[in-house]
Every structure is written in C-alpha cells, then in structure tokens.
Amino acid sequence: MTWPIFVINMAANTTRMTRAAGELDRLDIPFVRFEAVDGRVLSDDELARYYDPVANLWRARHPMVGPEIGCYLSHVALWEQIAVGDAQGGIILEDDFSVADDLEAVLAAVTVDNGDWDIVKLFSARVGQKTFDNKPLVQGRDIATPYKVPNTTLGYAIRRDTAARLAACAFPVSRPIDEDHKHFWELGLQIAMVTPSPLVFGVQTAETGTITAARRHKTKGQARDALRHFLRSLHFRVNYIGKLHWHRFVRRLLKL
C-alpha cells in the first residue's frame, strides 16, 4: 500500500488546489489536502521563534521572506504528522505540480523500496542530472542518488523516522527548506531521486502570489546593495560547491 499522500495548499489558492486535485483524481490517487502556513501573517513573536536572521546571514544567499518561512513551517507540520502516523512514511506534494501517468506505480514502488535513503525527490528541473547508484524502480524510471540534490520541494517521499528527526531539530530555520536538503551532510541525510521525474511544474500563478515575487518585492529599490548581495551569493556558492564535492569524494573513498 502506498504511503499517505499530502498536498500542501493555502486556503486562498483555490485555483492551484483545483488543478492539483484534478491531476491526482484522474489517476484515482487518494490524497489529503494539508492547510499551509501563511508566512505573510506571522507575528513578530512567531518570526522570532521560527526564524534566525543572524544564522541566515552566513548560511543562506538571501534573507528569507514570509512565504519561504511559511513553506518551511508547513513541511515541518507535516513531518510531525507523519512521525506519529501508522505508515512507515509519507508523500508530500506542493500544489503546483502536474503528474506523469505512471505516478501511482512510482509511489507504490518507492514505498516498498528498501534502499539506503531518507528522502526520495520526485522532481528535478535539471535534465540529465549526474547520478550514481542507479537501480530500476518502475519501467522507464530509476531510483538513484543525485550528485547534487535538486532544488525545490515540489514532491518527495520521506520515511517516518526521518520525519521525526527533522521535525525535532527544524527550528529556528535560517534558509529555505530545499537549500537545507541540498546541504544534506549537515542533517545526515541520504537523499535519492526518481529519474526521469514523475512530476513537473504546473501553472505557477497563485491568488496569494509566489515566493519569487515576494523576494523581488522585498529587494526592489535596493540597487545600492547589489555588490553586497553579489559577494554574499558568491560566498554561499563557493562554500556550497566546495563542501558538496568534498562529501561526495569522501563517500567514494568509503565505498572503495
């Protein structure tokens, strides 16, 4: 039996939910809608409890905006629910996806896979991404370890014990959830992916706006800080790439 499937959705984003439900309904895939946290309305006390702007300065390429914080809180709330559930894991989807016709078979295969992973990503925007430890999952798709963990949390499977562990150490957050996944070594995570991806991005418009739009609005008119932003982004990039290559190198050595 496939693990329970959750679709994260804000109440105001009715168009997204209708499209997401239609995608799953056409394949007769049952799911539960999960009410997303609206990061735009978090109080100052809540922001102080859940977000660390000081750590953000040296751990992330840009300050987090409200919708990013709300997104992270939504995933943590779902991890907590999965952690106390009866199933051995759960499937988490954000509400802006389209699905391949074999998604049900993919999810069923992931559920029973006994590979050494904590999370399986169901989407990557990168075509021909470098992977290793590939093995067949369903016809035409493999499960593999990505050299570089894909951006976004459009969809992923997570084991119950992993959900409990991540929920317990999540706060305060200091960078977007997908960036934390990309820094898998910090969290001791083994992250796999399905390739080719059984999900793609659907329509990105939303009644509440998007994270990208919120970030652009926050930085509008701050051209004087362009050099500072460039240097911060460069530091983040160099630090991330260096550590990524080091941890992949160590992994290869340990397997010799």
Tell me what pLDDT residue 171 has: 97
- What is the domain extent for residue 144? 5-224
Residue 72 falls inside a structural domain: yes
Residue 232 falls inside a structural domain: no
Residue 97 falls inside a structural domain: yes
Total tally of structural domains belonging to the chain: 1
CA dist 161 and 184 (Å) reads 16
Residue 118 in tokens: 């904590």
Residue 116 falls inside a structural domain: yes
- The torsion angle over the Cα atoms of residues 48, 51, 56 and 62, rounded to 10 degrees, is -110
Residue 118 falls inside a structural domain: yes
Tell me what pLDDT residue 228 has: 84
Closest CA to 1 of 82, 81, 84, 88: 88
Residue 174 falls inside a structural domain: yes
Residue 39 falls inside a structural domain: yes
Tell me what pLDDT residue 27 has: 97
Q: Is 199 left (phi over 0), alpha (psi -120 to 50) or beta?
A: beta
Side-chain-side CA neighbours of 123 within 13 Å: the count stands at 21
Tracing tokens 């290559």 back to the chain, one arrives at 245
CA dist 74 and 118 (Å) reads 19
Tell me what pLDDT residue 224 has: 61
**What is the pLDDT tens value at each position of the chain, 256 positions in all?**
689 999 999 999 999 999 999 999 999 999 999 999 999 999 999 999 999 999 999 999 999 999 999 999 999 999 999 999 999 999 999 999 999 999 999 999 999 999 999 999 999 998 889 999 999 999 999 999 999 999 999 999 999 999 999 999 999 999 999 999 999 999 999 999 999 999 999 876 655 555 555 555 455 555 567 888 888 999 999 999 999 999 999 988 887 6
Residue 252 falls inside a structural domain: no
The CATH number that applies at residue 179 is 3.90.550
